[in-house]
Amino acid sequence: MRIARFTTGEEPQFGVVTGEVDEFGQPADDSVVVALAGDPLYVGIKLLEEQHRLADVRLLAPVLPRSKVVGIGRNYAAHAAEMDSDVPDEPLMFLKPNTSVVGPGDPIFYPRQTQELHFEGELALVIGRICRDVPPEQATDVIFGYTIGNDVTARDLQRSDVQFTRAKGFDSFCPLGPWIETDLDPHDFAEGRAVQTHLNGDLKQDGSTRDLIFDIPTLVAHVSSVMTLLPGDVILTGTPAGVGPMEVGDEVEVSIAGLGTLTNPVKAR
Ligand code: MG
């Protein structure tokens, strides 16, 4: 099931995106969004009569994390190598504030404090229930679903600041979407799902989730051994090789097979 959050110009609502999808998870032109009563993270899936053509609604970030977005650094060996870094011995965690989250089509704003704004296309997982100390074999029980994230990073500030708060934390530095797919599980990603980033139509990142150093159950176990996870919290699983700069006026697209495409323009702040 594909859970979206959308607006028709009125209050945001949640809905289920129906219809066929192609191999990259792109929906057919006649797809519809069936509205849901309330937030499915809290009240479950309650379908309403109300429907809209997908083409007639504006999609929003499919989840608004109540507490946190947890980033994982250097979780693909080829990306660690391009950063001249070693692969970490255990998952390298950082936080992005929930105020960095924006939705499909929303601008990524280029801050005046950086001269090196980078895209990082990533698989994101959405936590479905309050949990801590989750054993790896129970990770599936606490994952609501999967979406696409762009872990936007001010690379020069990441180098100069020692820690990542500013470099990863600006408003609009965490595009999420286009929806949450609830029917996949960690095995699907361990077998390999293409993660691709295009900048103005040019392929820049071409990775596979099979190359995750620490797999999804390991990440959930590791993060939840440190901090309680709440419904709607997001874990970004790390980016494959090929990160690079964006400029004002660019359009960045992150695609993951089965999850669709997350597209955002870059604008001046
Ligand atoms: Mg990243």
- 150 neighbors 122 (Cβ within 8 angstroms): yes
**How far apart are the CA of 135 and the centre of ligand 1, in A?**
24
**How far apart are the CA of 35 and the centre of ligand 1, in A?**
32
- Please indicate, yes or no, whether the overall pTM of this predicted structure exceeds 0.85: yes
Phi, then psi, of 87 in degrees rounded to 5: -75, 130
- State the Cα–Cα distance between residues 81 and 197, nearest whole angstrom: 18
- Residue 20's pLDDT is 79
**How far apart are the CA of 236 and the centre of ligand 1, in A?**
7
Helix (H) or strand (E) holding 160: helix 155-160
Collapsing DSSP to helix, strand or coil, 205 comes out as: strand
Question: What's the CA angle centered on 202, arms 190 and 69, to 5 degrees?
Answer: 45
Nearest to 181 by CA among 256, 252, 254: 256
Taking only the tens place, the pLDDT of each residue in 163-222 is 999 999 999 999 999 999 999 999 999 999 999 999 999 999 999 999 999 999 999 999
- Residue 21's pLDDT is 78
**How far apart are the CA of 151 and the centre of ligand 1, in A?**
5
Asked whether the bond before 178 is cis by omega within 30 degrees of 0, the reply is yes
Taking only the tens place, the pLDDT of each residue in 60-91 is 999 999 899 999 999 999 999 999 999 999 99
Nearest to 73 by CA among 159, 182, 151: 151
Ion ligand 1 — residues with CB < 5 Å: 120, 151, 239
- Residue 28's pLDDT is 82
- Residue 269's pLDDT is 87
Is the pLDDT confidence value at 24 over 80?
A: no
| CATH numbers and ranges of domains, the chain | 2-59 (no CATH), 69-268 (3.90.850.10)
**How far apart are the CA of 7 and the centre of ligand 1, in A?**
29
**How far apart are the CA of 40 and the centre of ligand 1, in A?**
27
